């Protein structure tokens, strides 16, 4: 279980992360990430009924939560992450889900770094 300080629970936080974050999709999940320099890293999960019955959805959520706990221990502050499980996640093994989660997170962090460096280069070119 993730600590309460590391969970996204309100609809506003989910909306903000999904709408303003960078997105990366994989076979089993879609991951949205926003970098926030202040505050603890927070993770939220979207596991719809299309994934399966309650038992299957909870198994997928537990596995994704374990992957997110590894992220929070490695990077305790600065990230807001929303993970949306796709129907294929129901049949995925733990190593497959973990691989998809980690690769999507790395892709999102690279996208954020690229956009930050582009912005800073633009400021230098514009004389700001």
17 inside domain: yes
Q: Say which residues have a Cβ less than 8 Å from residue 36's Cβ, sequence separation at least 6.
A: 78, 79, 80
Mean pLDDT of the chain: 91
37 inside domain: yes
- Cα–Cα distance list, 16 to 1, 8, 39 (Å): 23, 11, 15
Structurally, the chain folds into a number of domains equal to 1
114 inside domain: no
Can you give the residue range of the structural domain that contains 35? 4-108
pLDDT at 38: 87
- Dump pLDDT digits (tens) for 21-69: 999 999 999 999 999 888 899 999 999 999 999 999 999 999 999 999 9
> What tokens does 6 get?
């590391």
115 inside domain: no
HSE-up (13 A, CA, CB side) for residue 105: 20
Alpha helices per DSSP H over the chain? 11-20, 54-74, 94-126
- Dump pLDDT digits (tens) for 90-126: 999 999 999 999 999 999 999 998 887 776 665 545 5
The pair phi, psi for residue 122, each rounded to 5°, is -65, -40
12 inside domain: yes
From 55, 68, 49, select the one nearest 7 (Cα to Cα): 68
Q: Say which residues have a Cβ less than 8 Å from residue 58's Cβ, sequence separation at least 6.
A: none
Cα separation, 65 vs 54, whole angstroms: 16
124 inside domain: no
117 inside domain: no
Q: What is the CATH number of the domain that holds 40?
A: 3.30.230.10
From 78, 70, 74, 17, select the one nearest 46 (Cα to Cα): 17
Q: Say which residues have a Cβ less than 8 Å from residue 40's Cβ, sequence separation at least 6.
A: 5, 6, 72, 76, 77
């Amino acid at each position: 279980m993730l600590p309460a300080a590391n969970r996204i629970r309100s609809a506003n936080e989910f909306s903000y992360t999904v709408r303003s974050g960078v997105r990366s999709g994989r076979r089993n999940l879609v991951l949205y990430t926003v970098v926030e320099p202040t505050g603890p890293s927070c993770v939220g999960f979207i596991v719809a009924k299309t994934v399966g019955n309650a038992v299957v959805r909870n198994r997928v959520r537990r596995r994704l939560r374990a992957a997110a706990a590894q992220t929070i221990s490695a990077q305790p502050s600065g990230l807001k992450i929303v993970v949306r499980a796709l129907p294929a996640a129901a049949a995925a093994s733990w190593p497959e889900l973990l691989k998809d989660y980690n690769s999507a997170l790395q892709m999102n962090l690279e996208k954020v770094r690229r956009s930050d460096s582009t912005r800073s280069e633009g400021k230098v070119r514009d004389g700001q």
